[in-house]
Structure 1
Amino acid sequence: MKTIIHATDFSDNSISALKYAHSLSKKLDAKLRVIHVFSLHAIPGIRFNPTDIQLNTNIMKDFEAKILDLCKRTLGDDIKNVEVEAIENSSIVKGILGKITEIKPLLLVLGMKGQSVFKDLIMGNTTRHLIEKSNCPLLAVPDDYNTMGDISTIIYATDFQSKDGNAIAQLSELARVFMAEIKVVHFSKKNHPENEHKMRRLKAELSEKTKYNKIKFEVVVADNSFYAINAYLRKTGANLLAMLEKEKVGFIKKIIHENLVQKMNVLGSTPLLSYNESSY
């Protein structure tokens, strides 16, 4: 059965991501695996002893009971498709990636902000590593997002990378479930004829990769692409922003180096779905 993973740190900021992941799992007829990665070294009052199997087991059970309680308080009784799991690992990134490798989920769903190592998630090292290394799409949900799993318009921001066609074809399978429109948009500072040519070439490539017919293509000229994305999201009423991440010139890497206020204007109110180029 298909599975969605949601990684929680128990913070209030992760509640919207849990609700979104649950709503999405039901729409996609998938299991929802809610995980929490912890380190025995970081638990106050616990002296780490790798040979004490009973102590380690008890701590694991305590965390899993805490995850289950969070799910019940957040989702009510509608948790038949929910599984919980505590994972001991000194690295949250490695703990999450290990689970992704093991069960090969449809999606990894995280909150945009959180506590401890999840703090400042969308710009932090944890997400950067996950974006670079995860072989499944990563969906980051704003902490105050209320339209759970309701997807009608998706913006795919393209820099005309070689694997865009693969990512959009995969995105179209998600869009098909919701009958959502995909707007493939390139934001450019100048009106280069080459951009229109590249967009036509991408459109032709997609016609061979997917039969989904609710895909539109547009080149938007603006001095500041990040403000342009923000304005475009508002103009279209889009409720999902998607993109492909490339190791050296990924879109999120560009955003990481921009002004913090500007970053949050663009990404702070819309769920962000990132596909990894290395997956194709």
Structure 2
Amino acid sequence: MTLYDSLYNYSPITERPALDWPGGKRVAFYVGLNIEHFLPDEPSTSIWPIDVKPDALNHGWREYGARVGIWRIIDILDRHGVRASALVNSMVAEHNPQIIKAGTERDWAWLAHGQTNSILHTGYVPDEERRILTDITTTIETATGRRPKGWMGPALTETHNTPELLAELGYQYVLDWTNDDQPYRLNVPEMLSVPYTLELNDLGLFLRGLSGPDFLQMVKDQYDVLREEGGRVMALALHPFVIGQPFRAKYLNLALEYIAAQSDVWLTTSDDIAAHYATT
């Protein structure tokens, strides 16, 4: 038996009962807003592969998100009544408290996203991982006043023990397994997988050369197909240092304008999606 056989069961979406969202809505839509801290001069998401210290080029590109980009995104989310599902590195609490304050004022959902996106969540033995996860959880809870219910590892990384250890800490779901358009139960008691996306994800799309109008059309097409199918989750994954650039933010505004205008969309958070599905 492989890890994947033991963690979850294969279930074709065509063989499941219909999934209903509150108010008879056909699509549950949420924004997964990656709020990340990066260690200077450490390998991480880079716009240019160089090995220099100080690495002003790559670190400055990433840090634009915390200094400028996220504030532009916050304005756009507010404009269209969208509460973020904030995927937050615990180090953000120390380094960017103004972002935490802005999110708590807006009643964002807070998910743990590791310590920093400069360190993958992998290679830990269980006791070490338990200690690290406990520290991440308590740091986010102290900063936001809310204990995180969801987890997404830096670069979607886990160990073989992560879901069970998260369950011990009271977590209810993970986003790391991007293999479905609906939530499903893991073979770890009380744990769900909630859909996230590597496809409708600004980091992958724009760094491959996608244009703003292309992004807007993809968001519209994704929603239209999922609405036709019904009972689906639509995640939109955003990174402030990417979509927060002015020439891209323009198209995020237009995309959310389209989504928010739909009569059959449930504008929600990953927390509320998990909570609703857990009752079915």
Q: Structure 1 or 2: larger strand share?
A: 1
**Pair member with larger Rg:** 1
TM-score by length of 2: 0.29
Q: Which has the higher contact order (CA 8 A, sep 6+)?
A: 2
The TM-score with structure 1 as length reference comes to: 0.29
